[in-house]
Amino acid sequence: MIGSILVFLLVLSILIIVHELGHFIVARKFGVLVEEFGFGLPPRIIGKKIGETLYSLNLLPFGGFVKLHGEDSNERLKHPKRAFSKKSKKARFAIVVAGVIMNFLLAIVSFGIVYSFSGIPRDIKDVKVVEVVAGSPAQVAGLIVGDIIKKVDKNDVSKVVEFVGLVEQSKGEKVKLTIERNSSEIKLNITPRVDPPEGEGPLGVVITNTEIYFPKVYLRPLWGVYYGFKDAVFWGGNIVVSLLQIIKGLFAGNVPRDIAGPVGIFAITSKAAQYGVLAVINFVGIMSVNLAILNILPFPALDGGRLLFIGIEKAIGRKVLPKLESAVHMIGMIILLFLLLAITVHDVRRLIAGGGIGGFLDSVVK
């Protein structure tokens, strides 16, 4: 349990500190005074000023924050020219969006590391057997892992979808499979089941059109970044679709069941840790994309909320009153904290009802 807690805190801290580091770097680039870079959340335990920025270690051991001069108010500015609120719309936009970009880059790097060590998937022109279920028609007929399926009766197959379609059409009827095994061609008779057990399919065989290969060591990071970018885009698309479904469900009066807060993230992190370092790194990538998209939502207190006010400023031709913007963000933060508390209570109930992490995860994916 202690190990799971440490991994959870490490994952959460990496996600948020990388996000805040984006704000920090770009703010410094545009000449904004960074008053504090905090590791963890207040209250402060200890702090040391290096240059003009206070670097603090805080009591709550996860996350982090960056405090920019003049971020929420124009009052009592000691350095007006270096205040966030006094910078151009372009500079403020870049500073705000930098955290989201850093999370997206972290996702690409995380997925890239996983691919570099676990191999790169690539499409092949063969339908390859990767698993045979014990006692299934596939095993009875003599299919083994590594076989390449070339034909179903007289029909050539080179794609999984073609093979599945032909098998579905032949349920309950004997068919002849032409198999390539160790460079030799053999033929097997097999009868697809009409009503197979759940999850096994008519033949009880797992097939694929992809294989895992390992490029030369010096090329793996390049391939890793390429596939990491594709994965980041893929997960980003999934998250956006899920958010739209949740919003649609809320308007229809349905309470979302598959939302997880800190307790849920802890449970998933603990499960990922059981599968090793690469599984945790892959989870960091997924969570980083999630954090990037959630932060860009146009809701007060989030980065997207600050971008919204910059957009309003551009539309009306003048700045929104700093006190008004600050109050809106404060209200947004209160709403988010109450929402986080509600989700946490819901997660704890599911954790107790599920009898542990395994039962909780089952309730999430149902």
Do residues 237 and 354 share a domain? Answer: yes
Identify the domain boundary among 151, 184, 213.
Answer: 213
- pLDDT tens digit string along 189-214? 999 999 888 888 899 999 998 888 88
Q: Are residues 105 and 141 in the same domain?
A: no
Q: Is the pLDDT of residue 308 over 80?
A: yes
Q: What is the pLDDT at residue 95?
A: 96
According to the per-residue pLDDT averaged within each range, which of 64-73, 144-153, 331-340 is highest?
144-153
Q: Clarify whether residues 107 and 39 are in a common domain.
A: yes
Give whole-number Cα distances, 42 to 55, 64, 65, 73, in Å.
12, 9, 10, 21
Mean pLDDT in residue range 5-19: 87
CA angle, 195 then 198 then 204, to 5°: 75
Asked whether the beta carbons of 125 and 162 are under 8 A apart, the reply is: no
pLDDT digits (tens, 9 = 90+) for 332-352: 888 888 887 887 887 788 777
175-184, 192-201, 234-243, 352-361: least confident range: 352-361
Interval 91-142: pLDDT, tens: 999 999 999 999 999 999 998 899 888 888 888 888 999 999 999 999 999 9
Mean pLDDT of the chain: 86
Residue 300 CA to residue 201 CA, distance in Å, equals 49
What per-residue confidence (pLDDT) applies to 102?
A: 95
pLDDT at 120 (0 to 100): 85
Q: What percent of the chain lies above the pLDDT cut of 70? A: 91
Distance from the Cα of residue 6 to its chain's centroid: 20
Q: 75 and 110 in one domain?
A: yes
The C-alpha R_g of the chain, in whole angstroms, comes to 27
Residues 312, 193 share a domain = no
8-state DSSP, 298: S
Same domain, 54 and 179: no
Instruction: Tell whether pTM > 0.85.
Output: no
- Choosing from 213, 248, 273, the residue where a domain stops is 213
Question: 101 or 217, which is more confident?
Answer: 101
Residue 258 pLDDT grade (very low, low, confident, very high; cuts 50, 70, 90): low
Nearest in space to 113 (alpha carbons), one of 266, 288, 277? 277
Q: What is the model's pLDDT at position 105?
A: 92
On whether residue 171 sits in a domain, the answer given is yes
Structural domain count of the chain? 2
Phi-psi region of 40 (alpha: psi -120 to 50; beta: other; left: phi over 0): left
Cα dihedral 166, 172, 177, 181 in deg (nearest 10)? 110
Asked whether residue 243 is assigned to any structural domain, the reply reads yes
The answer as to whether 221 is a domain residue is no
**pLDDT of 157 over the 60 cut:** yes
Res 252 pLDDT > 80? no
Mean pLDDT of 257-286: 83
Q: Do 114 and 126 belong together in one domain?
A: no
Say yes or no to pLDDT of 89 above 90.
yes
> Does 219 fall in a domain?
no
Question: Is residue 62 very low, low, confident or very high in pLDDT (cuts 50, 70, 90)?
Answer: low
Say if 239 falls within a structural domain.
Answer: yes
Report whether pLDDT(75) > 70.
no
Distance, CA of 182 to chain centre: 40
pLDDT number for residue 353: 75
H-run or E-run covering 167: helix 160-169
Give the CATH number for residue 136: 2.30.42.10
Mean pLDDT of 50-77: 82
Taking the C-alpha atoms of residue 363 and residue 351, their distance in angstroms, rounded to an integer, is: 9
Q: Looking at 161, 178, 213, which one is the last position of a domain?
A: 213
- For the cut 80, the answer to whether the pLDDT of residue 260 exceeds it is no
- The answer as to whether 78 is a domain residue is yes
Angle subtended at Cα 330 by Cα 328 and Cα 331, rounded to the nearest 5 degrees:
65
329, pLDDT greater than 80? yes
Domain around 100: 2-118+228-365
Give the integer Cα–Cα distance in Å for 216 and 229: 20
